[in-house]
Amino acid sequence: MRLTIVYDNTVYRTDLDLQSRWGFSCLVETEDDCLLFDTGGDGDVLLHNMSMLDVQLESIDAIVVSHEHWDHAGGLAMVLKHNQDVTVYRLESPASYAENTVVVDEPCRIADGVYSTGRLSGSPVDEQSLLLRCGERWYVLTGCSHPGVVAILEAAGEHGRVDGLIGGLHGFDRYRLLEDMSLVCPTHCTRHIDQIRQRFPVQYVEGGVGRVISLEPGTNV
C-alpha cells in the first residue's frame, strides 16, 4: 500500500514545482484501487500538485472526505469536474453531488484493506478517519482529528492494534499513545509537530506535499 501526500501546509519534495496551502489531501493506492482522502482547500492547487506527481485523475476510484471544512473538501468540485464516475464517501450529502455520494454513518469498507471509522462525534464538526490494513498491521489516516486522537484510536483499536498514525492531529499531546507505534507522520493542523519529532525520532516521518509512504506487511515504512 502506498500513500502520497498531494496537499499540505508544507512541501516535502523541493525538486518539483509543488505548492503548499492550508489543508490536506492524501492519495491511497492499494494493489487494486486508488483512493483520494480529502481534497485540500483549493482545487487548482490540488490538480497542479497531482499533475507534478504524475497522478492521473481518471485513476481515482473513490474519494473519502473526512469532514466538511473548506480545507478538506474545497477541492472536491474540481476533482469531480474531471472525474464524474468517482464515488464520494462523506458525512453529508449536498444536492449537487447526490448521485456520486455515499453518506457514511457506521464503520464501512471502502476498498480492500481500506475502511472508514464511520462518523465520530467531534467539535466543531464530526469526522471520519481511514483505517488501513497491511498484512497484520493497522494504520490510521486522519484529516484534522476533531473527535480527538484518543477517540479515533479507540475506534481503530476495535479492528486491531494500531501501528501507525498519519495526518492532522490538531492539539494532540498524549504522546504515550504513540510509544508502541512504528510510524508517526503528523501533518497539516498538528500543533506539536516539533515535540513529536523530538520524542519519537525513529518513528517520526516528515509530511508535506510529495511525501510518499510505502506500507508493506512486516515492515515499518
Q: What CATH number has the domain bearing residue 193?
A: 3.60.15.10
Burial-class residue 169 by CB neighbours within 10 Å (0-12, 13-18, 19+): buried
User: Checking DSSP bridges between strand 2-7 and strand 25-29, what pairing results, if any?
Assistant: antiparallel
The answer as to whether 30 is a domain residue is yes
The answer as to whether 124 is a domain residue is yes
87-90 β-sheet, strand order: 101-103, 87-90, 62-64, 34-37, 25-29, 2-7, 212-214
> In the prediction, which pLDDT does 147 show?
97
Express as a percent the part of the chain with pLDDT over 90: 92
The answer as to whether 100 is a domain residue is yes
Domain range for 56 is: 2-214
The number of beta carbons lying within 10 Å of the beta carbon of residue 98 is 10
The answer as to whether 220 is a domain residue is no
> In the prediction, which pLDDT does 94 show?
73
Evaluate if residue 172 carries a pLDDT over 50: yes
Report the SS3 class of residue 209. Answer: strand
* Grid coordinates given for 152: 479515533
How far is 54 from 136, CA to CA, in rounded Å? 30
* Structural domains of the chain, count: 1
Per the DSSP assignment, residues forming a β-bridge with 142 are 167
Evaluate if residue 95 carries a pLDDT over 80: no
Evaluate if residue 100 carries a pLDDT over 80: yes
> In the prediction, which pLDDT does 90 show?
95
The answer as to whether 221 is a domain residue is no
pLDDT digits (tens, 9 = 90+) for 26-36: 999 999 999 99
